[in-house]
């Protein structure tokens, strides 16, 4: 028997491994099984080169669980090790600067296992004792047993083993008993070893017999040794790709498209990326790409390898060239990673362009699901727009699809304003904004339907890319001001008439939480609607974008601001003006006279004080001005109270306001009930 200490200068190496890698401790199983697979692959290579001349036989790697003994055993029929090789690969931990090991890695413990070469020592994250029973493939080799109880001390002794290969026996520690659960272990094998290149068996398959599940003689092979991405694309059919997708994501809808990656220069990369159907929340759909290294699962946190917008894709990437640290869970940013990211972006863009060119009809049918990826790319990836503009589409409210250039050609003759800006009109909901869409179409305008999750943020970018162009929602203004062709017609009402008419409607507007209304009077023509509600394009867009960009949360906290536009040309509005003027004239006469007097006084005070610098104003000056302002406001309040008292009983005013609110989905609850009753009364 040989005894000794593992080649480190500290007694604390195993507690450090356990402590610092605890958050990732389940990877021990991946490391153990992948080591067994590596040993088996090496034997196959020796056989192919003629050095190993015997029959290879059954090369299955087996994982066995013994809950009574509290052990997990990983067995292979690979190359095995001699006593000298155990000393070299297990006892002598090979890394530079052994003496400062703890100091060097205590703050960056994710690098620990990688410096042990084979990752073998990850076993001590879960095991209080580890045994290796191994026999080399070399002729005349004897079986040896190595054991270690979690301290640097180890023992090597003779052992019995019929064939070459290794058994790694882990005596699971008390604080890691969850790994002795069969279902937990099988889940980890499925996660990490599902596509390893050598068959991996975990117990036996079971069948239902005599009212219970019993083991059969057939191995329970948990992996596919030739996953789809390792095969030549020309040999595969659509159903192969769909079937593989169902294997990866059993509960998902069928994918839209897929891209088979296969490159060997300037780096090695294979894989299959799928475009899934994304129904709502983007964040829930991320991190569905699985990263493998030579068919060994590494991580599904692929930021840095896959561009941000393509983290929405599902699928598999496999590359031995991606630089990984020890736990194979954290990617290091370097030039090679950047090259891979650039390649994937180009490959995805090329594929989409090809699909669009080969079968535009099918592409258009899938556009509503696909556009989220395109928009995300335009928003998040520099330079992606230049690729995407060839296959990105607009859809109008009639359901027709256009490339960016096609749509520009369609609208440039009719949708330029007086400043020669091309105006792209859009709606976000065909039903809610129907009357606004109809109004625009009646003017001969085309309206886009931008109802996707990222459509509105994307138009902000498109406005920067398109020359002399802007996007405007159809309900952001009255129809004649959406695309201003010439100066607007003048309102024929006097200032007093406009003020009084505004007050009639403003005083009757409902109080809606987090909502403000401004009232304005415009001459829109006798055929236009009497009252229209609009919302400023800029403010609404900023509020919508604040949902995606935390730095813009200020806009999200602001109240919704709407304009109630009164059409002074409409007969109903004229009637309201005439009737309100007649009904309030006598009551308003003394108030208006007093108001004009007070306004004249305030104007004189302001003119006099404007000649002085602010620090030259006396307290008496300030008090005089404040008193005049207060007197003016008191008369305005009296005037508004008179108008409000009249307007309160005018059913036409309330009906017109409610119709405008109803058109915008803002009439609810008690107000809606009152509107319905009033409507019936008006019909009688």
The residue extents of the domains of the chain are: 12-220, 228-358, 392-481, 495-683
> What pLDDT is stored for residue 342 in this prediction?
82
- Contact assessment for residue 260 and residue 229, using Cβ atoms and an 8 Å cutoff: yes
Contact 520, 502 (CB under 8 A): yes
304 annotated as ligand-binding: no
* SS3 per residue for 426-477: EECCCCCCHHHHHHHHHCCCCEEECCCCCHHHHHHHHHHHCCCEEEEECCCC
In this structure, are residues 566 and 498 in contact, taking their beta carbons and an 8 Å threshold? no
31 carries a ligand binding annotation: yes
Strand partners, 157: 145
Domain 392-481 class, CATH top level:
alpha beta
Q: Write down the pLDDT at residue 104.
A: 47
Report the SS3 class of residue 636: helix
Confirm or deny that 62 is annotated as ligand binding: no
pLDDT on residue 611: 86
Tell me the CATH number of domain 12-220, given options 3.40.190.10, 3.30.565.10, 3.40.50.970, 3.40.50.720.
Answer: 3.30.565.10
Tell me: is residue 91 an annotated ligand-binding position.
no
C-alpha to C-alpha distance for 54 and 50, rounded to whole angstroms:
10
Look up the CATH architecture of domain 228-358: 2-Layer Sandwich (3.30)
81 labeled binding residue: yes
Mean pLDDT, consecutive 10-residue segments, the chain of 684 residues? 55 54 72 89 89 91 95 95 85 45 45 47 87 93 90 86 94 92 93 90 87 86 89 93 90 88 82 83 66 82 78 87 49 62 86 92 92 89 90 96 96 92 94 91 95 87 93 89 78 87 92 88 87 84 68 67 91 93 93 92 90 86 91 93 93 92 86 88 79
335 in a labelled binding site: no
**pLDDT value for 656:** 93
- Is 210 annotated in a binding site? The answer is no
The pLDDT, as a whole number, for residue 210 is 80
Instruction: Report the pLDDT value the prediction gives residue 95, as an integer from 0 to 100.
Output: 36
Q: Is the pTM of this model over 0.75?
A: no
Q: Cα separation of 466 and 408, whole Å?
A: 10
pLDDT at 114: 39
Q: What was the pLDDT predicted at 19?
A: 53
How far apart (Å, rounded) are the C-alpha atoms in residues 30 and 28?
6
Residue 678's pLDDT is 87
């Amino acid at each position: 028997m040989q005894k000794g200490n593992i080649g480190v200068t500290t007694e604390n190496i195993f507690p450090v491994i356990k402590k610092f890698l605890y958050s990732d401790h389940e990877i021990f199983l991946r490391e153990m099984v992948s080591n067994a697979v590596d040993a088996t692959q090496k034997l196959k290579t020796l056989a192919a080169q003629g050095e190993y001349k015997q029959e290879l036989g059954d090369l299955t790697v087996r994982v066995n669980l013994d809950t009574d003994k509290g052990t997990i055993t990983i067995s292979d029929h690979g190359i095995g090790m001699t006593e000298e090789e155990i000393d070299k690969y297990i006892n002598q931990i090979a890394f530079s600067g052994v003496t400062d090991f703890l100091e060097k890695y205590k703050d960056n413990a994710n690098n620990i296992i990688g410096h042990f070469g084979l990752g073998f020592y990850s076993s001590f994250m879960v095991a209080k004792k580890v045994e290796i029973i191994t026999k080399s493939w070399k002729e005349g080799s004897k079986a040896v047993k190595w054991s270690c109880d979690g301290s640097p001390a180890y023992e090597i002794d003779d052992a019995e083993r019929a064939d070459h290969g290794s058994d790694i026996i882990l005596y699971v520690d008390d604080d890691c008993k969850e790994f002795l659960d069969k279902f937990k272990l099988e889940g980890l094998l499925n996660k990490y070893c599902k596509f390893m290149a050598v068959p991996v068996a975990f117990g036996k398959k079971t069948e239902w017999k005599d009212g219970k599940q019993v083991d059969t003689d057939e191995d329970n092979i948990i992996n596919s040794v030739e996953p789809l991405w390792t095969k030549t694309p020309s040999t595969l059919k659509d159903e192969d790709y769909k079937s593989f997708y169902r294997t990866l994501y059993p509960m998902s809808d069928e994918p839209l498209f897929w891209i088979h990656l296969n490159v060997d220069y300037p780096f090695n990369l294979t894989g299959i990326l799928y475009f899934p159907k994304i129904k709502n929340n983007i964040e829930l759909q991320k991190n569905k790409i699985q990263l493998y290294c030579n068919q060994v699962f590494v991580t599904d946190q692929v930021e840095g390898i896959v561009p941000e917008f393509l983290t929405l894709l599902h699928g598999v990437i496999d590359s031995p060239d991606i630089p990984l640290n020890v736990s194979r869970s954290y990617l290091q940013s370097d030039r090679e990673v950047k090259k891979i990211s650039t390649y994937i972006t180009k490959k995805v863009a090329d594929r989409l362009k090809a699909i669009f060119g080969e079968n535009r009809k099918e592409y258009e049918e899938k556009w509503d699901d696909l556009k989220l990826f395109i928009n995300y790319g335009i928003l998040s990836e520099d330079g992606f727009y230049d690729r995407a503009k060839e296959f990105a589409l607009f859809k109008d409210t009639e359901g027709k699809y256009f490339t960016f250039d096609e749509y520009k050609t369609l609208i440039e003759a009719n949708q330029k304003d007086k400043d020669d800006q091309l105006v792209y009109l859009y709606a976000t909901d065909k039903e809610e904004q129907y009357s606004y869409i109809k109004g625009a179409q009646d003017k001969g305008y085309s309206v886009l339907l931008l109802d996707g999750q990222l459509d509105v943020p994307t138009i902000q970018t498109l406005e920067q890319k398109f020359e002399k162009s802007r996007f405007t929602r159809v309900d952001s203004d009255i129809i004649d001001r959406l695309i201003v062709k010439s100066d607007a017609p003048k309102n024929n009402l006097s200032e007093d008439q406009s003020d009084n008419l505004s007050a009639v409607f403003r005083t009757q507007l409902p109080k809606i939480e987090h909502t403000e209304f401004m009232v304005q009077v415009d001459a829109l023509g006798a055929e236009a609607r009497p009252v229209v509600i609009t919302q400023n394009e800029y403010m609404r867009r900023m509020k919508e974008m604040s949902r995606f960009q935390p730095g813009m949360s200020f806009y999200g906290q602001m109240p919704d601001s709407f304009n109630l536009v009164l059409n002074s040309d409409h007969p109903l509005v004229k009637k309201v003006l005439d009737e309100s003027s007649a009904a309030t004239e006598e009551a308003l006469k003394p108030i208006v006279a007093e108001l004009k007097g007070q306004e004249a006084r305030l104007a004189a005070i302001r003119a006099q004080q404007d000649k002085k610098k602010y620090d030259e104003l006396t307290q008496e000056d300030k008090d005089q001005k404040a008193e005049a302002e207060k007197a003016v406001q008191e008369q305005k309040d009296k005037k508004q109270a008179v108008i409000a008292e009249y307007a309160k009983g005018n059913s036409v005013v309330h009906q017109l306001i409610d119709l405008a609110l109803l058109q915008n989905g803002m009439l609810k609850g008690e107000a809606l009930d009152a509107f319905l009753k009033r409507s019936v009364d008006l019909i009688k």
